[in-house]
Amino acid sequence: MAAVEPGAKRSGVDLAAAIPPFGRLLRRRWFPQALALPLLALLVLFLATGWWGTPVGNRNGLVVFVWILWWFLLIAVLVPFGARAWCGVCPIPTVGEWLQRRTLFGVRAEDPRDHREGPGHRVGRNRYRGLGRRWPRRLANLWSQNLAFLGLATFSPVLLTSPLASAVAIGAMVLVATAVALVFRQRTFCRYLCPVGGFLGLYAMGSTLAVRSRNASVCADCREKSCLAGSERAWGCPWLEYPSRLERNNACGLCFECVSACPHENMSLFLRAPFSDRRLRGWDEAFKAFLMLGLALAYSVVYLGPRGELKSAARGLATGDWLGFLGFAGGLWILALLVVPGVFLGAARAGRRLAAAPVPLRDLALAGAAALVPFGLLVWIAFSVPLVLANGSYVVAAASDPFGRGWDLFGTSALGWTPVVPHWTPWIQAVLVLAGQAAGLRAGWLETLATVADRRRAIAAFAPTAGALGATALLFLALFVG
């Protein structure tokens, strides 16, 4: 998306202006952070069910609520329609953020010209506790998150099925997030370390919601820069972004601090066409797209496929089948870090030769990888559909008996396993894969055209990537429908 010219109106529907009560809600400091508190209570409850509840995964509240309900809502609803709205209410960093701010809904602001020393440190006009270190520049990218997510994915067969392992992993995330908040400033953990945050940022690019400035000329004339530096009304952007210049969704956690902070009411929430942000900015982002696609492929084979040997091998870590586990982990890493990147980098290289385009390979490869943002998101949704259609009833049953101890809180614990229209799965999946292919072709083409500039060269440059995307779509169709 091109930068908005000064004075130009942003395209899309300005939701705060269109629905005034919603606009007032967005400017409240407690929104949406207050929602993290009940979620924190639920998180504690689910950690307890994971720790003390039944070891049977599909009867344990933690496994069922997190890996069926939360996962599906996240990937199929929140990300496509709400960008990183989850990050705005996520309870994992709540404790650390409170330790930094020492207030739930208040703001600590002071005049930057005031040189009095206080406890903690100052960022812009806000004062925080903790050491307030800056994250090292070399690590200010997605690579840590790429590795962390691949690591989690490697242990997914245990995480998805063992409540105790899930509790340990999620509990460890809370501890790490809290420790990082004490040493580094603001949402450094969410931005650079959270394994979930990496792919949320990537796929949020396609979301129909976006926080943006309303009018660039207002920002150009602005002296306070409260969205960045904070004010007595709100904290400066916790995500280390410069909100008035946001042109992509990747690192926006939808906390709406900037909407509350702006004295000109120039920050708002926009409803827009899907897949509007396209530009990838580095190899770290391209590899995020590659590895997410590789994992979607591997998961579709292992979890949705009929091969029992693969399922046993994947769980080898828990059963002592070390060779099997090594095969699963090796296959996953090779697919995610070598095969998928190899195919799409090879396609970019071939396109560059075909087009004789005087463009660096990196630029062309990033343009082509833009196709994998919509495609990756939609195949992940396609992968997740049968999990809820087949196993969604576990959520209803576990709500009444989260510890699996024979409780019946809401009278639903006796509900047996009840799949809901599971035979619609291939149809829904085919539609999602094809929609992903179409949106991916469009995104990759527009980025390639913007990179190469010449239309005929762009066609030659994009053709191999389009072919690779088509072949990948056929592969997913064969897995889902065949």
Partner 1 sequence: MGHRPASTALRGMLAAAVVVGSGAVGLLWDSLPAGTPTNRTVEITARSFAFDPAILRARVGDTLTLRFASLDVVHGFYLEGYDVDVTIEPLRREVEVRHPGGPEVELAEEVTLTLDRSGKYRYRCSKTCGAMHPFMLGELIVEPNRLLPASAGLSVGLLLAGVVLVVPGREEARDGRG
Q: Is 106 in the site for partner 1 (CB under 8 A)?
A: no
Which of 23, 327 has the CB closer to partner 1?
327
Burial of residue 443 (number of CB atoms within 10 Å: 0-12, 13-18, 19+) = buried
Which tokens hold the place of 149?
């997510």
Which of 25, 450 has the CB closer to partner 1?
450
Measuring CA to CA, which residue among 377, 344, 374, 386 is closest to residue 362?
A: 344
Among 37, 48, 396, 477, binds partner 1 (CB under 8 A): 477
Pairing of strands 13-14, 121-123: unpaired
Among 144, 208, 215, 312, binds partner 1 (CB under 8 A): 312
Which of 30, 424 has the CB closer to partner 1?
424
Q: Is 185 in the site for partner 1 (CB under 8 A)?
A: no
C-alpha radius of gyration, the chain, whole number: 23
Which of 262, 468 has the CB closer to partner 1?
468
What's the rounded Cα separation, in Å, for the pair 25 and 76?
A: 25
Q: Are 398 and 405 in contact (CB under 8 A)?
A: no
Which of 65, 270 has the CB closer to partner 1?
65
Which of 62, 193 has the CB closer to partner 1?
62
Site string for partner 1, 410-449 (x = CB under 8 A): -------xxx--xx-xxx--x--xx--xx--x---x---x
DSSP secondary structure string, 380-433?
A: HHHHHHHHHHHHTHHHHHHHH-TTSSS--SSS-TT------SGGGHHHHHHHHH
**At closest approach, how far in Å is the CB of 469 from partner 1?**
8
Positions in 318-377 near partner 1 (CB under 8 A) = 318
**In degrees rounded to 5, what are phi and psi of residue 453?**
75, -50
- Hey, CA dihedral for 347, 348, 349, 352, is it positive or negative? positive
Which of 73, 477 has the CB closer to partner 1?
477
Among 146, 162, 207, 266, binds partner 1 (CB under 8 A): 162
User: Given the rule CB under 8 A, which of 103-111, 129-137, 307-315, 323-331 is the region that contacts partner 1?
Assistant: 307-315
Positions in 59-98 near partner 1 (CB under 8 A) = 59
Q: How many chain residues bind partner 1 (CB under 8 A)?
A: 54
**At closest approach, how far in Å is the CB of 161 from partner 1?**
4
Which tokens hold the place of 292?
């997410």
Among 303, 327, 350, 415, binds partner 1 (CB under 8 A): 303
What's the rounded Cα separation, in Å, for the pair 203 and 223?
A: 33
Which of 318, 399 has the CB closer to partner 1?
318
Which of 57, 195 has the CB closer to partner 1?
57
Among 306, 320, 358, 411, binds partner 1 (CB under 8 A): 306
Among 276, 391, 413, 451, binds partner 1 (CB under 8 A): 391
Which of 96, 324 has the CB closer to partner 1?
324
Which of 295, 302 has the CB closer to partner 1?
302
**Helices first, then strands: H and E counts in the chain:** 26, 5
Q: Are 257 and 32 in contact (CB under 8 A)?
A: no
User: C-alpha dihedral over 16, 19, 24, 30, to 10 degrees?
Assistant: -80
DSSP secondary structure string, 234-265?
A: S---TTS--GGG---STT-----HHHHH-TT-
Tell me if residue 192 falls in helix, strand or coil: helix
Q: What does DSSP assign to residue 162?
A: -
User: Given the rule CB under 8 A, which of 9-17, 36-44, 57-65, 215-223 is the region that contacts partner 1?
Assistant: 57-65
Full strand arrangement of the beta sheet holding 13-14: 13-14, 267-271, 209-213
Pairing of strands 13-14, 267-271: antiparallel
User: Given the rule CB under 8 A, which of 6-14, 227-235, 348-356, 465-473 is the region that contacts partner 1?
Assistant: 465-473
Q: Is 278 in the site for partner 1 (CB under 8 A)?
A: no
Q: Is 315 in the site for partner 1 (CB under 8 A)?
A: yes
Q: List contacts with partner 1 (CB under 8 A).
A: 56-59, 157, 161-162, 302-304, 306-309, 311-312, 314-315, 318, 386-387, 390-391, 394, 417-419, 422-423, 425-427, 430, 433-434, 437-438, 441, 445, 449, 454-456, 458-459, 466-467, 470, 473-474, 477-478, 481-482
